[in-house]
Amino acid sequence: MIVVLKNGVGKEQQDDLKRFLEGYGVKVSVTEGTQTTIFGLLGDTSNIDINAVEAQDAVETVKRVQEPYKKANRKFHPDNTEVKVGDLVIGGKKLTVIAGPCSVESEEQIVEIARRVKAAGATMLRGGAFKPRTSPYSFQGLHAEGLELLRIARKETGLPIVTEIMNTEDLDLFADVDVIQVGARSMQNFELLKELGKTDKPILLKRGLANTYEEMLMSAEYIMAGGNENVILCERGIRTYETFTRNTLDISAIPVLKRLSHLPVIIDPSHAAGLPWMVEPLSKASIAAGADGLIIEVHNNPAKALSDGAQSLTPDQFDGIMERLAPLAQVVDRTL
Amino acid sequence: MIVVLKNGVGKEQQDDLKRFLEGYGVKVSVTEGTQTTIFGLLGDTSNIDINAVEAQDAVETVKRVQEPYKKANRKFHPDNTEVKVGDLVIGGKKLTVIAGPCSVESEEQIVEIARRVKAAGATMLRGGAFKPRTSPYSFQGLHAEGLELLRIARKETGLPIVTEIMNTEDLDLFADVDVIQVGARSMQNFELLKELGKTDKPILLKRGLANTYEEMLMSAEYIMAGGNENVILCERGIRTYETFTRNTLDISAIPVLKRLSHLPVIIDPSHAAGLPWMVEPLSKASIAAGADGLIIEVHNNPAKALSDGAQSLTPDQFDGIMERLAPLAQVVDRTL
Amino acid sequence: MIVVLKNGVGKEQQDDLKRFLEGYGVKVSVTEGTQTTIFGLLGDTSNIDINAVEAQDAVETVKRVQEPYKKANRKFHPDNTEVKVGDLVIGGKKLTVIAGPCSVESEEQIVEIARRVKAAGATMLRGGAFKPRTSPYSFQGLHAEGLELLRIARKETGLPIVTEIMNTEDLDLFADVDVIQVGARSMQNFELLKELGKTDKPILLKRGLANTYEEMLMSAEYIMAGGNENVILCERGIRTYETFTRNTLDISAIPVLKRLSHLPVIIDPSHAAGLPWMVEPLSKASIAAGADGLIIEVHNNPAKALSDGAQSLTPDQFDGIMERLAPLAQVVDRTL
Amino acid sequence: MIVVLKNGVGKEQQDDLKRFLEGYGVKVSVTEGTQTTIFGLLGDTSNIDINAVEAQDAVETVKRVQEPYKKANRKFHPDNTEVKVGDLVIGGKKLTVIAGPCSVESEEQIVEIARRVKAAGATMLRGGAFKPRTSPYSFQGLHAEGLELLRIARKETGLPIVTEIMNTEDLDLFADVDVIQVGARSMQNFELLKELGKTDKPILLKRGLANTYEEMLMSAEYIMAGGNENVILCERGIRTYETFTRNTLDISAIPVLKRLSHLPVIIDPSHAAGLPWMVEPLSKASIAAGADGLIIEVHNNPAKALSDGAQSLTPDQFDGIMERLAPLAQVVDRTL
């Protein structure tokens, strides 16, 4: 951390500031110029509140050099983390493909879709029971019943299930869910993250629609600081000025997150664009860029879906995409 | 709502789509061009899921004409809503000024600040007991103890208290809080909004850092749909590409939200810029543009604040600003 | 400027880098930590290409402390710059109000509008002769004839004229224009800026739709580096994710630009929102926040305007706004 | 185009508006609801100025259905356009790889780099002679001399040359340049686009840093409307809130632009991220998503480059990437 002092700060005030900073357990190195004095902070600065330093009278500006996250930081964990879900490994050579409907609607629906996506090569089943909808007048999910239907689909197909939690009060209901998803709107629901940190469940953490890489890794850090290191990062499109697509897929998130962190990174091409014909090119781009997997919306009858039908693929379309992704995975030394 | 059909959609498919849309209880008017056929939907379209319409095979694109919110919509409630907090009125001629520290830290701190801001003309006291912090290693607030200290400060000064809730499980602790704040990161925590809709508490709803006006009003609608119409909207800066300020104050939110909705609008100039020297010009701009009030961070010792010290005013600075705001309020026919 | 070295950079490489940096005429102060070595650069760093430093093998990251602009920087010119246009002063106590149509369309139109805005208190006339239109099929302006009509309107009313230049080849045509406008799309047309720097004309420099404060001041620096210090900065709305308004007025630009620079700052509320009913609240906010003036679109027949009619005020509306702005100006110690 | 009328607009005013719209040569179909009246405009609406319609008193809002561009629109030109540069084809099965330094610096430099990139498989040479630099104090390019050095490198290697134009006055100097580049900052320099439309040169049109797909295609339309249909679109990263990378590569631009338009699309991974280690994953993603080519910065001595050294690859790095891209190209049925 580098602290630039205001012009004209006297010796005494400098010494006070130096002592204040040393209180954080770091060494302070002073560089005095004709106009500007700079303090370099050496040691572990991750527990220093940058805002508290900026609030000191003598301080002009503060610049971080070290990242503020530790457990999620590749510097301290050079090897890739592999998250285990039963026999499955997320972040290994085999790509993870999670597929299923936006919302669980009925036993027939979820079981049929589960069978189809499994046949096409998906390794996990997604489906929402608690749905964060922009409008209070939209379908809000089947809640506990939806989770029960997911369990039935798991029993029928053997596919582990991934589903979203929205509130700490519902945590008990998720006891036998295989992967708990934290949605984009909850990425900074810190109370929820803390509770999930106390479990040992794999957590699929989606990036908030306008959150930075650093903020995302700090949210992962919340979960990991609680003791749960089974975090899977998921990029699902960010908000930009462009309105043709629902969001803008940030493909750079793949190489950046994998460089900054050791956690697996998967991509959600369905929400990123909101347009089914874009799922294929975005999936291809993601695998080529080094993603560890995909999460794709598939519905057996998009026109009758209770949510997000417009961006869902049909099982037939999903079959075709999976076939065309396989040789691409091979070229980048992965398997599908 | 206007539905544009794909080119080449036949008569039968058109009829199917027409019946599907009429199922929502609206009248469908058909405009047939040489290339394009357009369906106009007449009646109440607020309960139509636009995504479900887009998911129909025959549909090229759908455009909304009516707003998707009703209770928050000025069209159906032409008069300004005034939210009552004891004897105070938010949204009336007298401007609301909420002031206080980012976090409640001690009895001495909160009582002293409460006295100072009251003397300067503030009408409510703010202070955080549950703090949404980006880092798990930062101070997270005093929780129940912090709420107790706010009550003491209220008793000492008579100022109603405004404080943030982060989780539905804490709702009981907020039973005698005067105004419950929903922070920017929780604006789309729909489970929390639903619970708050069941109370009769005034809710200060902050805009999410990258949420549109429509999304903000839909979040207000969540609370109001539950029966609680005491919603106060708060603009606190949005995320843009500019990095000099922490966020970018969207001053246009004032005239826009007041045109689209009947709810009061207040501005948070402290979080918007993150720089104490900008609080004054942004406060002036807000009042001139028609805001119903301000929420300002004041700390008796910013350099020792446990959070957000860098953007807090001292009580002396706050005194000066309040003095200079008063004549401005008068010019736009308000009082301070 | 602060240069953070990569971990593990040896003594020799450090010495090479130190010599390289000293080649820019600055003093390099070295801070050695256990993990990180930091170089502090002391002296004038404004002519150092930050990218060239980042390109050095030993360098992890570079952070600027000093601003890269000099002539536009308030640090080196503490007093406000006042730009003279005949007897008018831009940046003085009296606010500058520039009004007129988007495009000059006919003698009758421009003269009538000029008379009306003058009567209402405007001090300069705006009108476009060269129009940057998104579509090649839209009206592109009257070019030389438009400039001639502006001269007629100036003769009839005495109002100095402000009009936009798009191309260096047209510069001769602008010889007797009073203030030359550089539009948002041309803010980084550096060849144009250089040519304008060789003239002594007042230049109204509009902020590009997604440019930072620093980039804007660097564009001012281009003009000033050529010898022309008569630069007026103009904020006209930036591009964000919000689509209700055409752009988002960045009201913070006023206090920020006036702190960083000594140049006058005026606001364009017409383009910022693109909605005529928002011109008044945004104008009020701008004056309250300390703007030196406004540039407002007024058309005698918006429904027949050849461009931007939808955001233009009628002369009657403009009259009303000017009346209501006057007392506000007084409260912030300005005159209208 | 769909025109929604204000509530309460009377019969006479409706008829006036209908006549006004019919004046554009379109048929107007009227849909009358209990609250809202909607006009559907049928026929060619691309020459209707949407703003002029919005400016009519009776109009609440206007929504486009048809795209405002014609010559660039795939609807009217279903087949892919192939742009010829000598024997090369841009937009065919073989991918186009343009490589070279940011700036031309010397004969030795440009010739050496040209030889290396040719050996690695590049099909064209890039190099800037006129450089748009944010700071007036940075190296601005060698201008005419730089173009001469590019000609020498072309003679030595046979590689066609691609270089940027910034001003219409320089057009004569570009007479024997193979592909003229319009930089991001000039994407809406409409006077320049019009002049380029009068030539028959292939134009590499870069997307502005915050421009929409539609604006980009309207800029292509400017060139094509003048008679020059040899336009190559180039995505090079857009501006978002994320600061880790210089810009954010919009990978979706590839499928979107290719769906909306018949023009070739190439990607600039060097400027998109500004980080050399990201060139490879972004190049792979681009090819996988269907790009027609890449433009990559390569410098024989990045640490000594006069511009953009920090994002340039060395020739050795470029060799490696080209080798690893080849099998990927094959999988998506392209050749490198």
Q: Determine, for residues C27 and A33 on separate chains, whether the beta-carbon distance falls below 8 Å.
A: yes
How far is the alpha carbon of B193 from chain C, nearest alpha carbon, in Å?
A: 23
Minimum Cα–Cα distance from C242: chain B residue? B212
Of A244, B42, B2, which is closest to residue D3 (Cα–Cα)? B2
Whether pLDDT at B252 is above 90: yes
Q: Backbone phi, then psi, for C35, in 5-degree steps?
A: -105, -40
Angstrom distance (rounded) from CA A160 to CA A230: 15
* B61 in contact with chain C, both atoms CB, cutoff 8 A: no
Give the span between the Cα atoms of C320 and C335, in whole angstroms. Answer: 17
Q: What is the mean pLDDT of residues B82-99?
A: 97
Residue C234 DSSP label: E
Confidence grade of residue D267 (pLDDT, cut at 50, 70, 90): very high
**Which residue carries 């186009």 as its tokens?**
D96
Q: Is A277–D255 a contact, with Cβ atoms under 8 angstroms apart?
A: yes
Q: Is A176 exposed, middle or buried (0-12, 13-18, 19+ CB in 10 A)?
A: exposed
The least confident of B205-219, C60-74, C240-254, D76-90 is C60-74
Instruction: State whether D27 and B40 contact (CB < 8 Å).
Output: no
Residue B13, phi then psi, degrees to nearest 5: -65, -35
pLDDT-wise least confident of A94-98, B32-36, C84-88, D1-5: B32-36
The residue behind tokens 């070290």 is A66
Spatial CA neighbour of B328 closest among D255, C292, C325, A170: C325
Indicate yes or no: CB of D250 within 8 angstroms of CB of A259.
no
The three-state DSSP-derived secondary structure of C42-111 is ECCCCCCCHHHHHCCCCEEEEECCCCCCCCCEHHHCCCCCCEEECCEEECCCECEEEEECCECCCHHHHH
Interchain CB distance below 8 Å, A40 and C31: yes
**Contact flag C302-D137 (C-beta cutoff 8 Å):** no
Which residues of chain D does C221 touch, with a Cβ-Cβ cutoff of 8 Å? 135-136
State whether residue A209 sits within 8 Å of chain C by CB.
no
Contact of A244 with chain D, judged by CB distance below 8 Å, is answered with yes
What tens digit of pLDDT does each residue of B96-155 get?
999 999 999 999 999 999 999 999 999 999 999 999 999 999 899 999 999 999 999 999
The count of residues in chain C is: 336
| H helix or E strand, kind and range, residue B4 | strand B2-5
Q: Which residue in the set D32, D42, D241 is minimally distant from B240, CB to CB? A: D241
How near does any CA of chain A get to the CA of B325, in Å? Answer: 25
Specify which residues B37 forms β-bridges with: B32
- Measured CA to CA in angstroms, residue C46 lies from C4, D68, D103, D138 at distances of 18, 44, 21, 10
Mean pLDDT across chain B = 95
Q: Of D109, A192, B276, A240, whose CA–CA distance to C243 is shortest?
A: A240
Contact (Cβ atoms closer than 8 angstroms) between residue B231 and residue B205: yes
pLDDT in tens, C251-309: 999 999 999 999 999 999 999 999 999 999 999 999 999 999 999 999 999 988 888 88
Distance, CA of C206 to CA of C254 (rounded, Å): 13
Would the pLDDT of D220 be above 80? yes
Q: Does B166 reach chain A within 8 Å, measured CB to CB?
A: yes
More reliable by pLDDT, B303 or D195: D195
| CA D182 – CA D204 distance, rounded (Å) | 6
Query: Which residues in A199-250 belong to E strands, given as ranges?
Result: 203-206, 231-235
Residues in D touching C17 (Cβ below 8 Å): none
Q: State the pairing for strand pair D203-206/D179-182.
A: parallel
**Does residue D153 carry a pLDDT above 70?**
yes
- The string of DSSP letters for B58-87 reads TEEEEE--S-S-STTBGGG--SPP-EEETT
Would you state the pLDDT for residue A303?
87
Q: What is the mean pLDDT of chain A?
A: 95
Which residues on D lie below 8 Å from A265 (Cβ)? none
**Alpha carbons B78 and A20: distance in angstroms, whole number:** 56
Residues C214-252 pLDDT 10s: 999 999 999 999 999 999 999 999 999 999 999 999 999
Percentage of chain B surpassing pLDDT 90?
81
Q: What residue in A sits closest to C62 (Cα-Cα)?
A: A65
pLDDT of residue B34: 65
pLDDT of residue D130: 97
CB contact under 8 Å between A194 and B136, yes or no, is yes
Q: Where are the domains of chain D?
A: 2-63, 74-331
Residue B310 is predicted with a pLDDT of: 85
What value does the CA radius of gyration of chain A take, rounded to a whole number of Å? Answer: 23
* Residue A240 clears pLDDT 70, i.e. is over it: yes
Q: CA–CA distance from A164 to each of A61, A206, A267, A270, A276 (Å)?
A: 40, 10, 16, 16, 22
In the predicted structure, residue D35 carries a pLDDT above the cut 80 = no
Mean pLDDT for A47-57 is 88
The stretch B66-75 carries a mean pLDDT of 93
Of C47, C191, C303, the CB nearest to D167: C191
Q: Which chains form contacts with chain C, at 3 or more CB pairs under 8 Å? A: A, B, D
Average pLDDT rounded to a whole number, residues B213-239: 98
Partners of residue B295 on adjacent β-strands:
B98
> CA B321 to CA A189: how far, in whole Å?
34
Put simply, whether B314 touches C (Cβ < 8 Å) is no
Digit-coded pLDDT (tens) for C15-45: 999 999 999 888 888 877 766 788 888 888 8
Cβ contact D103:D139 at 8 Å: yes
Model confidence at A34: pLDDT above 70: no
Which of B31-45, B151-165, B271-285, C115-129 is the least confident region?
B31-45
| Cα-Cα-Cα-Cα dihedral sign, residues D21, D26, D27, D32 | negative
User: Which residues face C4 on adjacent strands?
Assistant: C38, C61
Burial of A155 (0-12, 13-18, 19+ CB in 10 A): exposed
Tokens at C114, concatenated: 């000029």
Phi, psi of B229 (to 5 degrees): -95, 10
Question: Is C137 near chain D, with CB under 8 Å?
Answer: yes
Question: Which token pair is B251?
Answer: 């001053």
Alpha helices, DSSP H, located in chain C: 11-22, 50-54, 107-120, 144-157, 190-197, 213-225, 253-260, 269-273, 279-288, 315-331
Residue D101 has pLDDT above 80, yes or no: yes
For B297-336, how does the pLDDT look when each residue is reduced to its tens digit (9 = 90+)? 999 999 888 888 888 999 999 999 999 999 999 999 999 9
What does the mean pLDDT of chain D come to? 95
- Tokens encoding B99: 């002031």
- Are D248 and A249 inside 8 Å of each other by CB? no
Question: Taking Cα atoms as reference points, which of D104, D96, D88 lies closest to residue D298?
Answer: D104
Domains A2-63 and A74-331 share a fold: no
Quick count: other Cβ atoms within 10 Å of Cβ D76?
11
Q: Do A135 and B218 touch (CB under 8 A)?
A: yes
Is residue D107 classed exposed, middle or buried when 0-12, 13-18 and 19+ CB atoms within 10 A define those classes? Answer: middle
Contact C303 D56 (CB under 8 A): yes
Candidate from B31, B63, B241 with C-beta closest to D63? B63
What residues of chain D lie within 8 A of the CB of A255, using their CB?
Answer: 277-278, 281-282
Q: How many residues does chain D have?
A: 336
Is the predicted pLDDT of residue A308 greater than 90, yes or no?
no
Q: What is the average per-residue pLDDT within B206-229? A: 97
Q: Where is average pLDDT lowest: C129-133, C190-194, D50-54, D279-283? A: D50-54
Please give the class, per CATH, of domain A74-331.
alpha beta
- Among partner residues B252, B281, B287, which is closest to C248 by beta-carbon distance? B252
Distance from CA of C67 to the nearest CA of A (A): 13
Residue C143 pLDDT: 97
Lowest-confidence segment of C178-187, C205-214, D299-308 by average pLDDT: D299-308
Q: How far, CA to CA in Å, does B171 sit from each of B46, B179, B193, D185?
A: 30, 12, 11, 52
Helix (H) or strand (E) holding B29: strand B27-32
pLDDT for the residue C34: 66
| pLDDT, position A336 | 93
Distance CA D234, CA B194 (A): 46
- Domain covering A2-63, topology: Alpha-Beta Plaits (3.30.70)
Q: Read off φ and ψ for residue B179, nearest 5 degrees.
A: -130, 125
